[in-house]
Amino acid sequence: MCNMVCRKEVFPMDSPAISQIHTLCVQMERHLSTPFPFSLWAKHCHYSPYHLRHLFTETIGVPPHQYLRRRRLTEAARQLVFSSQPLLEIAFSAGYESQQAFSDAFRRLYHMSPARFRARGFFYPLQLFPEEPFLWTSGPKGDGALRPATPKDIPTWMALAHLSIDGYPCWVEGAYRAALSAAISDRRAWVWEGQEMLGIATLAPQGDHLAYWAVHPRLRHRGGLQRLLALFRQTVLPQRAVALTTFRAGDAADTGHRTQLLQLGFEPRELQTAFGYPVQRMVLPANRTVAP
């Protein structure tokens, strides 16, 4: 077990505010096919629209308009694969006024037409609804440490993965759960933990490739990825390069993860395709220091 520690940090957002954000997500689910009155809801919560957007982004990790668009297209993608509804009906249920507008929006984020996505029969989400129990994470309440994951961690790990799938194209839950179990068995999975699970990371079998890593959305804009990476570099892969794949430049589905990787010192390398999705390999050189 790692005895590296992370500095303490105070998170100003209180539980009532987070509860309101969760209620806002519930309300958005009821408006997947109709316009959502965000300004009216902000007034109902006694917030300005600007402040509510800020709270939402800090809690969920993406702005509300982006979250809602991704939720709508995720549920549309689910219907494409698991129902026989006509495309026009799916377009309307996703809040689009025409099949063409829906197809254009779908193609931008899924990189294929709705018809092709349905024919392929391979569903993956862009954004999942944040489950209430795990949304209450308030961040580190003391020292955080990196430790090997165990099978008992899987339920909480999966909850955190659900909150962070916007960083990973083609995230398929069944395949991911199987890969996670194998990684835990091979001691290739780690948990960053304070009083709660704050971050997760798994290595691919080849040993220097980060197959998956993420932090709770409330840490995403507070240096969480940098702190997790520093722990990982100093304890799991000391003095070694770290590789991973991420979105290519200009991908409309990227919610900012590529920019964060560049800021952390990762260097773009060769273009690749993973599960039919265009990605790019990025490498953090062995001599690149990451401060916690």
DSSP 67-129: HHHHHHHHHHHHHHHH----HHHHHHHTT-SSHHHHHHHHHHHHSS-HHHHHHHT----S--P
Structure tokens at 68: 């809602």
In this structure, how many other beta carbons lie within 10 angstroms of the beta carbon of residue 124?
Answer: 21
Q: Give the mean model confidence (pLDDT) for residues 24-43.
A: 90
User: Would you give the distance in Å from CA 136 to the centre of its chain?
Assistant: 17
Looking at the predicted structure, is the pLDDT value of residue 30 above 80?
A: yes
Distance CA 191, CA 128 (A): 22
Structure tokens at 208: 């220097």
Q: Give the mean model confidence (pLDDT) for residues 156-172.
A: 90
One-letter identity of residue 258: R
Which pLDDT score, from 0 to 100, does residue 239 have?
A: 84
Question: H or E element: which one contains 149?
Answer: none
Percent of the chain with pLDDT over 70: 90
Percent of the chain with pLDDT over 90: 65
Looking at the predicted structure, is the pLDDT value of residue 98 above 90?
A: yes
Terminus-to-terminus CA distance in the chain, angstroms?
18
User: Would you give the distance in Å from CA 8 to the centre of its chain?
Assistant: 24
Distance CA 180, CA 202 (A): 8
Determine which of 18-22, 33-37, 135-139, 179-183 has the lowest per-residue pLDDT on average: 135-139
Q: Give the mean model confidence (pLDDT) for residues 1-23.
A: 53
Strand partners, 20: none
254-268 confidence digits (pLDDT tens): 999 999 999 999 999
Residue with tokens 């997760």: 200
Distance CA 91, CA 102 (A): 5
35-79 confidence digits (pLDDT tens): 999 888 888 888 899 999 998 998 888 999 999 999 999 999 999
Residue with tokens 């694969």: 81
Determine which of 37-46, 118-127, 136-145, 254-263 has the lowest per-residue pLDDT on average: 136-145
Which pLDDT score, from 0 to 100, does residue 222 have?
A: 84
Looking at the predicted structure, is the pLDDT value of residue 5 above 90?
A: no
Looking at the predicted structure, is the pLDDT value of residue 206 above 60?
A: yes
User: Would you give the distance in Å from CA 27 to the centre of its chain?
Assistant: 21
Which pLDDT score, from 0 to 100, does residue 138 have?
A: 55
pTM of the model: 0.88
Which residues, other chains included, contact 230 with Cβ-Cβ below 8 Å and sequence gap of 6+? 290, 291, 292
Average pLDDT, the chain: 88
Q: Please name each of the domains of the chain with its CATH number.
A: 66-120 (1.10.10.60), 135-284 (3.40.630.30)
Closest CA to 232 of 146, 130, 112: 146
Closest CA to 292 of 192, 205, 197: 192
Which pLDDT score, from 0 to 100, does residue 90 have?
A: 97
Which pLDDT score, from 0 to 100, does residue 12 have?
A: 44
Strand partners, 282: 244, 268
Looking at the predicted structure, is the pLDDT value of residue 20 above 60?
A: yes
Q: Give the mean model confidence (pLDDT) for residues 225-235.
A: 90
167, 245 contact by CB (below 8 A): no
Which pLDDT score, from 0 to 100, does residue 68 have?
A: 96
Closest CA to 266 of 235, 225, 231, 236: 225
